[in-house]
Amino acid sequence: MQSYDIIKPGLDYIEQNLKADITAEELACMAGYSVWHYHRLFAQTIGMPIAAYIGKQRLDKALSEIAGGRRAIDAAMDYGFDTYAGFYKAFVRVYGGSPKKYLQKMEVVMATEKKLQKILVNWDMPSDLPIMDIYIMDGAKISGDVWSVGRDYILKTGERESFLKNIMISKALAEQGFAASVPVLTKSGGEYAENLTGKKIYVLTKGIKGGSLPKQDRFGENRRDFGVKYGKSIARLHNALAAVQKNVKVHEQNLYSHVTEWALPEVRKQNDKHNIGLPDGFFTDYIEKSGVLFEKMPKQLIHRDPNPSNILFDGNEVSGFINFDISQRNVRLWDPCYCATGILSEWRGVNELFPKSSPNIYEKWPDILEGVLQGYNSVNPLTAEEKQAVYYVTCSIQMIFVAYCEPKPELKALAETNREMLKFIVENKARIKWGD
pLDDT of residue 140: 42
Q: For helices 412-427 and 384-405, what crossing angle results, to 10°?
A: 150
pLDDT of residue 230: 97
**Nearest 5°: CA angle at 178, between 175 and 183?**
75
User: What size, in residues, is the chain?
Assistant: 436
Residue 378 CA to residue 231 CA, distance in Å, equals 9
**C-beta pairs of 399-402 under 8 Å, 24+ apart in sequence:** 399/259, 399/263, 399/264, 399/266, 399/267, 400/258, 400/259, 400/263, 402/263, 402/266, 402/267, 402/270
CA–CA distances in Å: residue 59 to residues 45, 66, 293, 319: 21, 10, 55, 33
pLDDT of residue 254: 96
Residuewise pLDDT in 10s, the chain (436 residues): 456 678 888 888 998 899 888 988 889 888 887 787 788 788 877 878 898 899 989 998 888 888 778 888 998 899 989 888 989 898 888 888 888 887 776 655 555 677 788 889 999 988 778 887 665 443 444 445 788 888 788 888 888 877 888 888 888 888 877 778 889 999 999 999 986 556 688 899 987 777 788 877 888 889 999 999 999 999 999 998 998 888 877 889 999 999 999 999 999 999 999 999 999 999 999 999 999 999 999 999 999 999 888 898 888 889 888 878 788 999 999 999 999 999 888 765 455 445 554 456 778 899 999 999 999 999 999 999 999 999 999 999 999 999 999 998 888 888 888 999 999 999 999 988 776 5
Q: Bridge-partner residues for 301, per DSSP?
A: 329
Residue 345 CA to residue 163 CA, distance in Å, equals 29
Give SS3 for 164.
helix
Longest Cα–Cα distance in the chain = 71
Asked whether the beta carbons of 234 and 302 are under 8 A apart, the reply is no
pLDDT of residue 196: 59
Taking only the tens place, the pLDDT of each residue in 54-113 is: 998 999 888 888 877 888 899 889 998 988 898 989 888 888 888 888 777 665 555 567
316: number of Cβ within 10 Å: 11
pLDDT of residue 331: 97
Residue 405 CA to residue 180 CA, distance in Å, equals 31
Asked whether the beta carbons of 79 and 19 are under 8 A apart, the reply is yes
Give SS3 for 304.
coil
Alpha helices, H only, 139-190: 160-175
Q: What is the DSSP string of 76-101?
A: HHHTT-SSHHHHHHHHHHHHSS-HHH
Q: For helices 3-16 and 24-31, what crossing angle results, to 10°?
A: 130
Residue 406 CA to residue 413 CA, distance in Å, equals 9
Supply the pTM of this predicted model.
0.68
Q: Bridge-partner residues for 159, per DSSP?
A: 200
Residue 197 CA to residue 279 CA, distance in Å, equals 55
Asked whether the beta carbons of 376 and 234 are under 8 A apart, the reply is yes
Burial of 182 (0-12, 13-18, 19+ CB in 10 A): middle
Give, as one character, the DSSP assignment of residue 432. S
Using alpha carbons, select from 345, 337, 363 the residue that is nearest to residue 413: 345
Residue 215 CA to residue 236 CA, distance in Å, equals 23
pLDDT of residue 35: 80
